[in-house]
Amino acid sequence: MRAIEGKEIKERIKALCLEANFFLRADVFAALREAQVQEENKLAKLALSEIVKNAQIAREQKKPICQDTGHVTIFLEVGNEVHIVTDDLKMEINQGVSEAYIEGNLRKSIVTDPLFSRKNTLNNTPPSIYFENVPGEKIKITVFPKGGGSDNASSLKMLKPSDGLDGFKKFVLEEVKKNAPFACPPLVVGIGVGGSFDSVGILAKKALLEPLGRVNQDKKLQRLEEEILKEINQLGIGPNALGGKVTALAVHIRCFPTHMASLPVALNLSCHALRSARTIL
């Protein structure tokens, strides 16, 4: 059994919050540079140039890529041979987020009560935390700060099995067409299919964490991702909704077994500043 101090997890989460907000993921940056080459619309091409320049300045000056530094989602994959030494792990995690957002001068966007007072917590906590028990003696920590604009552009629908593949594609394309202009494209489209009402959104969010350019091991899903990406980029929405051929950089689909009476589908759209950071303890 390997012991890992809760304070070490706190420090790693603090560092990951800063890394994710200051340094755009290398795969996303490369995809944006490639989009500059592909794009033919002059105004859209200029927008992509400014997006790339912004990411470069953020990296060099250690400034936020976007003023909306997001709601933080944290995924912890904890090995079954790990003993976490702490009285309160959630407290340690919250402290890591709080210190990062206060000391890093990152915008605090979380309000305590969604319906009534909507009072700011002033430290961007609490984050959403998801634990998964896995084999081994390590902990994988993924920090995913996501802006409100792109999350607001996401959607979920409990399709009927009879809707089938055609109904799935229709829902995805209609929702992207309706919501993409408000999510600061070019987007990455994370799609979750299956599971249940409460889990399909997590599938979609996890899909955004997959490396851009990865090949889906399920060949049928790979073809479907390519087909949907092509159709999205034929919508003509383009970077910053200025028109053009690059509305989305990638489409990632994650599936999970579901009830025979159900076909849950969730879309989680990212903005062009798809930010996440990961480490292994």
Q: pLDDT tens digits, residue range 176-202?
A: 999 999 999 999 999 999 999 999 999
Widest pairwise Cα distance in the chain:
59
How much is the pLDDT for 51?
98
pLDDT tens per residue, range 221-271: 999 999 999 999 999 999 999 999 999 999 999 999 999 999 999 999 999
Signed CA dihedral, 49, 146, 200, 235: sign only = negative
pLDDT at position 141: 98
Residues in contact with 22: Cβ distance below 8 Å, sequence separation at least 6, in sequence order: 58, 59, 62, 63, 64, 65
- In one-letter notation, the amino acid at residue 276 is S
Name the DSSP class of 248. Answer: E
E strand spans, the chain: 2-5, 71-79, 82-85, 128-134, 139-146, 155-159, 187-195, 248-258, 263-270, 277-280
Structure tokens at 150: 């792109």
pTM of the model: 0.96
Identify the pLDDT of residue 173: 98
If residue 174 lies in a helix (H) or strand (E), which one and from where to where? helix 164-179
